[in-house]
Structure 1
Amino acid sequence: MRFGSRVVTVGAVAGFAVLGVAGPALAHVEVSADKTTAGAENVTLTFNGEAENDKAGIASERVVLPAGLAPASVTLVKAPAGWTFTANADGFTVGGKALKVGVDAVWKVKIAKLPDGETRLSFKTLETYGDGEVVRWIEIQEAGQDEPDHPAPLVTLKPGPSTAPSSAAPSSAAPSVEPSSAAPVVTASTLPSKTTDHSSSTWWIWVLAVVVVAAVLGFVLLRRRKADSEQSTDVNS
């Protein structure tokens, strides 16, 4: 019985010790988006800064925007009563009278347009309490890695139309068949010059040959007639 009670006691102490260590680590600043596609427009981000100071309440939250987001594109939607919104060079700050101890800070902002081609947006946040304590939630959470001790609020997005691979083949993939590339067009200017010169320089030779042959035949016929005429004269005499 003593051994069993000792085991139970040791287990209980160990469990409380684990809870004691894990308790503070559960206090985060978290963010969620109502649209989770890269390049989406008019997106509302909801931030939740969990209170972890047992002596003072949260007085302000300073957010550093990730690359691709400009402070001018951010507008306040909702914040704790009495808090104001101020744009900074690299982000914005919401703050005012410190909240009650243990009360989480919840605020919403609207983003005009999320960056194209980005699927992980980290919003580094500095959480300030009424007693001056500043908790820096600024460590970037890498994909596939363990969560750091003070992770920056993270929004995970789906690729947008501009980053997703296109199903249509590009116009250059299927070359168009132009008449000039399919088969050469034969024109008079493209024919070999020798062909033209040969045809134009030999026709008169054949004409001359016909004329010569005709002249020779005429001459032969004329001589034959003359010879026949002389023979007939001799016979008559």
Structure 2
Amino acid sequence: MFHADTKHSTARRLALLASATGIATLLTAGPAFAHVEVESDKAQALAENVGIGFEAESESSTAGITKLRVVLPEGIEPADVTYGEGPKGWRFTAADDGYTVEGPAVKAGENAVYSIVVKQLPDVKELAFKTLQTYSDGRVDRWIELDESGENPAPVLSLKASAPGAESAASTPSETESRAGITAVLAHVVVIARVRSYGLGSALVRRFTDDAAAAGCARLGLVTAAGPDGAGPYYERLGWQYAGETRTPEGRALLAYEYDLTFYPRRGTAQ
């Protein structure tokens, strides 16, 4: 009994200490908190002319936030979004898959707060707004994970069920056709031995990436041999992510890699 009481007293003291100092301490493992918050007074499926507010929390005491690049969730077209308010001097630019708000750096350590107005919300339970947060020193925070337990969760707006009789209005067509499901597959990269130290392989991969992004593809994919004969470490240095292992019908082990084009600059669009 004495041991249990001691534990409870310690817990109470820790709680009081955290309250008094304003420090939130994670005592157990759990979901990470989003560092871009989103809210709306009209968070309801099929609601029209909805104002949505965002607050990008600063994680730097030496550099200010200068830009927020957002990919809109499925069901909201860029043409259906207008700018509300934001930091002084910031501007709004639409892209083929979302928008950017940017301008002079806010004061170091301060959050960037802005709002948008959406013509109509889709008939879904929640909306994720993947966000890249850029600072004046070049740092970029990537709040893009859809898993709430991830280290970099995207801001998510939960929606109430649609009102009785609510209907979906016609959406304004976007400038480019959505190709969110298309994966461009990199089949071969060949550079002859005597010029392999000149960066030609990286240039070829970069050109392939540029062309795939310009065509509206959502991601890249490739497979390479497992073990020392494979090029896995090379592609990892170029930013590709390991996606698992597979085998040929003959049993040869292959490693799969992917490259997400969500935030890759696309020729002819504002970034």
TM-score (ref. length: structure 2): 0.49
Query: Higher helix share goes to which structure?
Result: 1
What is the match of residue 132 of structure 2?
A: 126
**Secondary structure at 1:103's aligned position in 2?**
coil
Q: How many residues align?
A: 149
Instruction: Report the Cα distance in structure 2 between the residues aligned to 1:113 and 1:18, rounded to whole angstroms.
Output: 37
Aligned AA (1:139): E
Instruction: Report the Cα distance in structure 2 between the residues aligned to 1:101 and 1:20, rounded to whole angstroms.
Output: 25
Aligned AA (2:158): T
Determine if the alignment matches structure 1 residue 62 to structure 2 residue 73.
no
Determine if the alignment matches structure 1 residue 38 to structure 2 residue 45.
yes
RMSD: 3.1
Instruction: Report the Cα distance in structure 1 between the residues aligned to 2:92 and 2:47, rounded to whole angstroms.
Output: 23
- Contact 2:39–2:52 at 8 Å: present in 1 too? yes
Q: Deviations over 1:153-179 (max 9, x none)?
A: 111011214799xxxxxxxxxxxxxxx
Choose from 151, 157, 160 the match for 2:159.
157
Aligned ranges 1:97-176 → 2 under 5 Å: 97-116=104-123, 118-141=124-147, 147-161=149-163
What is the match of residue 74 of structure 1?
A: 81
What is the match of residue 83 of structure 1?
A: 90
Aligned AA (2:156): L
**Secondary structure at 2:84's aligned position in 1?**
strand
Q: Deviations over 1:108-161 (max 9, x none)?
A: 000000012x011000010000001000000114xxxx5321111111011214
Instruction: Report the Cα distance in structure 2 between the residues aligned to 1:134 and 1:149, rounded to whole angstroms.
Output: 14
- Contact 1:51–1:104 at 8 Å: present in 2 too? yes
Instruction: Report the Cα distance in structure 2 between the residues aligned to 1:19 and 1:114, rounded to whole angstroms.
Output: 36
Q: Evaluate the alpha carbon distance shift between residue 69 and residue 27 of structure 1 in structure 2; reply closer, same or farther with a 3 A threshold.
A: closer
- Contact 1:65–1:90 at 8 Å: present in 2 too? yes
Q: Evaluate the alpha carbon distance shift between residue 18 and residue 120 of structure 1 in structure 2; reply closer, same or farther with a 3 A threshold.
A: closer
Aligned AA (1:151): P
Gaps of 5+ in 1: 1-7, 165-237
Query: Higher strand share goes to which structure?
Result: 2
What is the match of residue 29 of structure 1?
A: 36
Q: Evaluate the alpha carbon distance shift between residue 18 and residue 29 of structure 1 in structure 2; reply closer, same or farther with a 3 A threshold.
A: closer
Instruction: Report the Cα distance in structure 1 between the residues aligned to 2:145 and 2:134, rounded to whole angstroms.
Output: 17
Q: Deviations over 1:165-209 (max 9, x none)?
A: xxxxxxxxxxxxxxxxxxxxxxxxxxxxxxxxxxxxxxxxxxxxx
- Contact 1:27–1:50 at 8 Å: present in 2 too? no
* 1:91 Cα offset (Å): 0.5
- Contact 1:60–1:93 at 8 Å: present in 2 too? yes
* 1:19 Cα offset (Å): 3.8
- What percent of counterpart residues are identical? 47
TM-score (ref. length: structure 1): 0.56
Instruction: Report the Cα distance in structure 1 between the residues aligned to 2:41 and 2:70, rounded to whole angstroms.
Output: 19
Q: Evaluate the alpha carbon distance shift between residue 85 and residue 121 of structure 1 in structure 2; reply closer, same or farther with a 3 A threshold.
A: same
Instruction: Report the Cα distance in structure 2 between the residues aligned to 1:62 and 1:131, rounded to whole angstroms.
Output: 16
* 1:88 Cα offset (Å): 0.8
What is the match of residue 172 of structure 1?
A: none
- Contact 2:34–2:154 at 8 Å: present in 1 too? no
